[in-house]
Structure 1
Amino acid sequence: MVSSGVYYTINNRLQFFYKSGCLVLDQQEVKLDPLESLVLEELTKHPKEIIATDTLLDLWPTSATSPNSLTRVISTLRKKLRTLDAFHVEIKNYPKKGYALIAEVDHLSAQTSKVQLENRHNKPTRLATKTPLIGILFIAVVLLINYAVTSIFEKTEDSVSPVLDKAIQLVDDQYEKVDLSVNDTHTQVVYATRDNEQANWQLKVLDTYSLESRVISEANVNLRSPDWLNNDTLIYRAYGDSSCAIKKLDLSHSDAQPIAMFPCNELTTGKGLSVLSADTILFTDAARDIAPASLYKGNIQTGKVTKIPGFDNSGVGAYNIQSKTGSNLVAVLTSTDWSTSNIHLVDTQDNWRSVWQTNTPKAKHSVSWDGQSLFHANESGGVTAHLFNASRYVKSIEMSGFSKLYNFVGNNGSVAFIQGDMYRTDVLMSPINESKSTATLLVDSRASNKLAQFIDENTVLYVSDVTGIEQLWLVDINTQTKKQVSMFAKAQKIDHIAYSVQKGLVAIEADKAINLYTLAGSKVSGDAYQQFAGTKPLFFEDNLLFSTRDDSDNYRIDALNLENKTLKKSFLIGAHAVKVSKGRLYYTKYYQPGLWQYYKQKDDDLISSMSQDVSYWFVDGQQLLFKDQDDMPTLVDLTNNQFIQLNGSTCQFITDYQFGHCLGQAYKPNNTQLMLAETNH
């Protein structure tokens, strides 16, 4: 079969076809799933550079993430390289830093290749929880109660009106928590959990009144997707590196052993498992490791498994499901590529016909159906509840206030949910020449704070999700006074920011698009007045510079003139990264070491022989600060090209360097909270 599109040649032998998801060496072929292709492409785009773990995790087209999934993807990539005897290609791990592809890479455009192309489905998604401040949580609950009572949940004879009555915090710790399920009497909650040291998933059963817990685990086996067969019996998925089974466990007997009911594929993407009736369960699974997840029905009494047609068209397939005993309707979340998803409510008694559906711009990992209301996360950082009378749709309700909601499940008038981040990110500031000085803490909260940049010597602009949605903030270095600059209503992941005080503009990159906002009175306007495709925006003189690619997938820097709104393509060819300092423009190139200074009227100068293996670099006047492949901060005097290694420097995870000070990020374990909210109808 003929292949066309983009491919890379690694060490002159190994071919990597990104768009087809294939590795080819000496006529041998190994297929990659979408996540493996995404990670390998990012590594091949920056050979020998350390790509930070967070950068690689950002490639996941879903917000449900954890470092363990990246570890598994890297592991499978290495195994597939060994399958091809590609021992000359190394994916090197730099602990607490990231990964690097140690190889020579050529980026080419393929015309033909003897490669058999097949669609592959994704590996198990990495899952991480999200948690806000406790105070915000209860404010959110109060706001939701008031909103529901006063304006939305009016009683009609054909409407279902769940109203939050009270919220109980069940767990608040630093362990990851996912896959919630509440029994019918609301007396027990079960969820999958693990620590942040990449241990296997185990199940924890929690008494909602006494808060006594029971841990269910198996050596070297992950236990996931629990659900209640009845108030005393659990079903769950147990998988290792080479085996998978759906098991049943009777909790009423302390010495009871789990019973394997159905085999499954340990590499399946779908995490769904739900009880349909007393003798029937539903589960998502893949027939083999290159197939999308399908939907199956399993009879507990007979052991018979039946595939439900229509839910595995391509890509991910059926990813998440939720049924409710006594209801013939089932909520099914499907996706083809993890970039979009469909949520269906299907009738099991009418040939699994979809009686209602909705689309979401991003594949949401969690959907809940309690027999009357369907819940899912929305794009504003909250929850949407779709209300039904039997199978007839009544209305939808946008419920805000649930900051950083991650995983939730409804059952008979209760909603259990998890919110928050596994890690918080603080912003630090440190003098560059005082390696033993104590870093000044600029931002200290349980939020994720990132992308900190100097506006002037006394002010820093940064991104924080302390309110639940990423917003722009200012902090006064001297007084530690913080001020929110933006009031975005829609949740988005901000990847880069650039500002121009002189022009009164702010450029924000989110989802590989750049939005240009007006900045007036230290406030960002509500709506962007211009949007275009591109990454890494930067203001330089009268231009907004940004990275893009041409039709041949070659990298370049384009320039948007802010005065006449004209676009100059190929402002810089082959540039990897650009920075501005003291009105001067500096840049590095792909696959070529060194730092260049841009000139309008003459050829650009190579001003430093900085190694190509650079993870971060910044210019402050006549000083260059960069981190080499060993993650060592190094200071270069550009007047004499003298290199000084900064041993013991606090300038790690650098985000900016100006005025003789560096800004950096510090990652610390955070707490996630498991909540149980009761509702009344």
Structure 2
Amino acid sequence: MEEVIINDCVRYCLKTGQLSRLDSVEQYINLDNLETAVLSYFIERDNTLITYDNLLSIWSSPVATENSLNRVISSLRKKFKQVGIAENLFINTSKKGYTFVGKLGTDDKAVPVPWKKWILSFSIVSLLVIAFNITIDWQDKVQQVPAIDMGEVRTSKLLEDADFKLDLAYNLANDRVAYSKKNIKDKYWYSEILDRYRGDRLRISLPNKNVRKNVWLTDNELVVRVYTEESCSIEKVTIDESYETFTFKTLFPCNPNSYASSLAKLDETRLLITDAKFNDTASDLYLGDTTTGEVTRIAINNDGGAGFYKVITHANSDLVALLSSSDGVTFRIDLVDSADNWKRIWTEYTKSNNYSVAWDGARLAFRNNKNGITIVTFNGTLEAQRINLPMLTPIHNISNASENSILLTSGQFAAQKLTYNDAVDSHLISNKANIHASVAVFLTDNDVLYVSTETGINQIWLYDHKARKNRQVSNFIEEQRIFNISVDEKNEFLAIEDNDGITLYRLNVYYSELEVLHTIKGRNPFFYQQTLGYADYSGQNSVIRAYDLASGADAELNIQGGLVGRTLDNKLYYSKRFQPGIWQYFHDNEDRLVLELPSSSYRWLLNDKHIVYQNDIGEYFEYNLEAGTVDSFQSETCVRPLTFKGKLCISGEPTESETSIIVLE
């Protein structure tokens, strides 16, 4: 049973999370991941009072509150109204919980649905197991496409700790898992190898260098990327038979300032490499011969932006998975044929950032737009079937393990506390998980706008420092990723950048309401001389433009190559897309290069005659605009600055990761 009829007029599909009217199946309303989980939980227990605690257990997240639940219930009520059910299906019992009172039935006749086989235990592992069992039915639909045998499903948690874990690579020959690891207090990444069954670990590291991007060559040979801000090399790590010692051998040089980089084994002597010339330039695909040291570029269009940031291969297929993004908002997954001039044979676009995908030569698994997992099965080069698996905890890596199994990392990858800092002390703004570290701005010395997920999705909040109180400003219904916010000098306008671009709002005098004024397809909003500045970024080129707040027309500002703009004392400074550095804008004269940056051209702030910037390993420096000198940025209270106002600072204090490595087979 995959569908249920509610109140004899609305169809709810548990598999897709969609509501539709019975008389109009082509028109439907999508539920997000939490809405789907909550509604399914209610339907399984219809006409039963469900306590707040039981409902909140669905989240598997420390940020879940009764407000989070109320937001989901409110959204469900609105979506039921959109499909024709105006009456309240969720009855609240004060201080206790909710009861779902909808009438349930099937297409055949209005009788109670046997929901016992749909019981969901909303932990990550059991969700996946049940989703596999109830959705896979490929043999009946597509001939010659094998189904995954989930008759005996086993799930194993291989590792759980407070370190970040990425770059998963499974060795089929000896059941060892390689991954990149870093504690929040560390400067550098290192690789670690875990024996799946014995639990033994081997740390692969070098002093004052990052070691990442693991790929297995043989059962005791691993290829990694070793880099600092000044140097980079692709190294072969040879491990002795006892798995206690190892040696490094340089295979190829690489570019140290390339974030969009990855490695994959094409065959016994050749590696696929993605690499870029500088930070924020598109990565190309290269072929490296491990016997000769020769590296050649493969002629395939990277579409600009980040370019190819991940490549995945499998020994049983000539098809190669390539991950790319031209704008940092939409992410592209391609299957290309390495035996046919790297021809693209399949493409998928997502709004969800996939650090990696699992590809076993016949099935491709990736994180979908609902933060679940989609598994696509191929018959040759043609897509034959796909299923969607709901997930209630964040997924950061998906990779292959053994046959018919998936390796993944899940859990809270990174959160942070926001602190309000003056010259002598710091005060906690919020200890909830604020997803984006750069999203905070001063309105006054006392009032701060910031983004928090306290109610379950990103909302704009106001912190009153004197009263030590927080209150919600926005009331967004749909989940959205907020990248930046900016306010003008008079605190009349607020610009918010999300996945769809920039929305300009008017703030009322109490900072309690947001009125939509205008939308712009742009990035990195800032206010400058009665205009809203932004980057018009196409993936290949970037131009800083401006929107006149008074006339509603385009302003004259046009800075070719500009990506990030900030203002100080009515002066405009900006950084460019392809040239690490900061320039000052002059209307009637040539712009002046103020500061050359080591690599990153976007992590910088302006404050009190200084430019504060961060290098690739997280160290902060400040450049004195008057003296022209550079010093380490040191503050006892503002350790990781997000925004300044004079001597005041908002700092982000990252919390430890809570991620696990899990194998499903």
Instruction: With the length of structure 1 as denominator, give the TM-score of the two structures.
Output: 0.53
Cα separation, 1, equivalents of 2:158 and 2:433 = 17
C-alpha distance 280-306 of structure 1, shift in aligned 2 (>3 A): same
Distance change (3 Å), C-alpha of 1:489 and 1:139: farther
Equivalences for 1:165-244 in 2 at 5 Å?
166=155, 168=157, 170-174=159-163, 176-184=164-172, 187-194=175-182, 199-219=187-207, 222-238=210-226, 244=233
- Offset of 1:215 from its aligned partner? 0.9
Q: 1:242 to 1:428 in 2, by over 3 A?
A: closer
Cα deviation, residue 192, structure 1: 2.3
The answer (yes or no) to whether the contact 1:414–1:676 under 8 Å persists in 2 is no
- Which residue of 1 is the match for residue 286 of structure 2? 295
Shift of the 349–453 alpha-carbon distance from structure 1 to 2, 3 Å rule, reads closer
Distance 1:531 1:150, change over 3 A: farther
Partner Cα distance (1:461, 1:568) in 2:
27
What is the correspondence of 1:102-181 to structure 2 with a 5 Å cutoff? Answer: 139=122, 141=124, 144-145=127-128, 148=131, 152-157=135-140, 158=142, 160=147, 166=155, 168=157, 170-174=159-163, 176-181=164-169
Instruction: Determine the structure 2 residue equivalent to 1:547.
Output: 533
Cα distance change on mapping 1:444 and 1:259 into 2, 3 Å: closer
Tell me the residue number matched to 1:272. Answer: 262
Partner AA of 1:588 in structure 2: N
Q: Structure 2: which amino acid aligns with 1:275?
A: K
Tell me the equivalent position of 2:520.
532
Seen in structure 2, the aligned counterparts of structure 1 residues 292 and 173 have a Cα distance that, compared at 3 Å, is: closer
1:213-267 deviation digits (Å, cap 9, x = unpaired): 2112345654332223444443334467567344152453346643648434355
What SS does the corresponding residue of 1:311 show, helix, strand or coil? coil
**Alpha-carbon spacing, 1:334–1:314, altered in 2? closer, same or farther (3 Å):** same
Which string of whole-angstrom CA distances, capped at 9 and with x for unpartnered residues, describes residues 355-396 of structure 1?
312345798553331333323445555554433345331344
The DSSP-based 3-state class of the residue aligned with 2:124 is: helix
Contact 1:498 1:508 survives alignment (8 Å): no
Amino acid at match of 1:546: L
Cα 1:209/1:446, change in 2 over 3 Å = farther
Which amino acid in 2 is paired with 1:368?
Answer: A
Instruction: Return the alpha-carbon distance in structure 1 between the equivalents of residues 513 and 374 of structure 2.
Output: 27
Deviation at 1:181, TM superposition (A): 1.0
SS at match of 2:271: strand
What amino acid is aligned across from residue 207 of structure 1 in structure 2? D
Partner Cα distance (2:370, 2:342) in 1: 31
Identify the residue that residue 409 of structure 2 maps to in structure 1. 417
> 1:153-198, CA deviations, whole angstroms, 9 ceiling, x for partnerless residues?
4454546559896462613224x43321122379432112345677
Q: How many pairs does the alignment contain?
A: 475
Structure 2: gaps (5+ residues) = 1-58, 65-120, 537-541, 558-564, 574-605, 613-621, 626-634
Shift of 1:409: 1.7
Q: 1:270-419 alignment to 2 at 5 Å?
A: 271-276=261-266, 279-284=268-273, 293-296=284-287, 298=289, 309-311=298-300, 318-334=308-324, 342-350=332-340, 352-359=342-349, 365-378=355-368, 383-397=373-387, 401=391, 405-411=395-401, 412=403, 413-417=405-409
Closer, same or farther in 2 for the Cα pair 1:256/1:169, shift >3 Å?
closer
**TM-superposed deviation, 1:304:** 8.4
The equivalent residue for 1:588 is 570
Distance in 1, Cα, partners of 2:647 & 2:277 = 50
Asked if the contact 2:643/2:650 (under 8 Å) is kept, the reply is yes
1:492 alignment partner AA:
R
SS in 1 for 2:316: coil
Distance 1:183 1:469, change over 3 A: farther
2:418 aligned residue (421, 427, 447)? 427
User: 1:327: Cα distance to partner?
Assistant: 3.3
Hey, what's the Cα distance between the residues in 1 that align with 2:503 and 2:270? 46
In structure 2, relative to structure 1, the CA distance for the partners of 1:461 and 1:381 (3 Å cut) is: farther
CA contact (8 A) 2:63 2:433 kept: no
In the superposition, relative to structure 1, how do residues 670 and 362 fare at CA in structure 2: closer, same or farther (>3 Å)?
same
Whole-angstrom CA distance in 2 between matches of 1:648 and 1:559: 39
**Equivalent position of 2:236 in the other structure:** 247
Per the alignment, residue 37 of structure 2 pairs with none
Distance 2:654 2:180 in 1: 19
1:648 shift after superposition: 8.3
Change in Cα spacing, 1:528 to 1:676, as seen in structure 2 (3 Å) is: farther
Aligned 8 A contact 2:643 2:649 in 1: yes
The separation in 1 between residues aligned to 2:611 and 2:154, in whole angstroms, is: 50
> 1:473: how far off?
4.0
Query: Out of 652, 661, 664, which is 1:676 matched to?
Result: 661
Which amino acid is 2:131 matched to?
A
CA distance in 2, matches of 1:452, 1:237: 34
Question: Which position in structure 2 is the counterpart of 1:75?
Answer: none
Contact 1:652 1:664 in 2 (8 A): no
Question: In the TM superposition, what is the alpha-carbon distance from 1:495 to its structure 2 partner?
Answer: 0.7
Partner of residue 472 from structure 1, selected from 460, 466, 483: 460
Relative distance call for 1:330 and 1:655 in structure 2 (3 A) is closer
User: Partner of 1:258: helix, strand, or coil?
Assistant: strand
| Aligned residues of 2:396 and 2:408 also touching (Cα < 8 A) | no
| C-alpha distance in structure 1 between counterparts of 2:133 and 2:513, whole Å | 32
Measure, in 1, the Cα distance between the counterparts of 2:206 and 2:250.
16
Choose which of 609, 614, 627 in structure 2 pairs with 1:613. 609
The 1:506/1:349 distance shift into structure 2, 3 A limit, reads: same
Q: Deviations over 1:530-555 (max 9, x none)?
A: 41256647899xxx9623599x9887
CA distance 1:389–1:537, change in 2 (3 Å): same
- 1:443, CA displacement in angstroms? 0.6
Distance change (3 Å), C-alpha of 1:147 and 1:351:
same
**5+ residue gaps, structure 1:** 1-131, 580-586, 592-609, 617-627, 632-646
Residues in 1 aligned to 2:265 and 2:648: alpha-carbon distance in whole angstroms: 51
* Structure 1 residues 440 and 134, CA gap change in structure 2 (3 angstroms): same
User: What is the identity, as a one-letter code, of the residue corresponding to 1:613?
Assistant: K
Query: Taking structure 1 as reference, are residues 135 and 387 closer, same or farther at Cα in structure 2, changes over 3 Å only?
Result: farther
Amino acid at match of 1:294: L
CA deviation string 1:492-550 (max 9, x = no partner):
33311569xx99x9752337942257999x9999x97841256647899xxx9623599
Mark the CA change 1:165 to 1:465 in structure 2 (over 3 Å): closer, same or farther: farther
Going from structure 1 to structure 2, the CA distance change for 1:209 and 1:146 (only over 3 Å counts) comes to closer
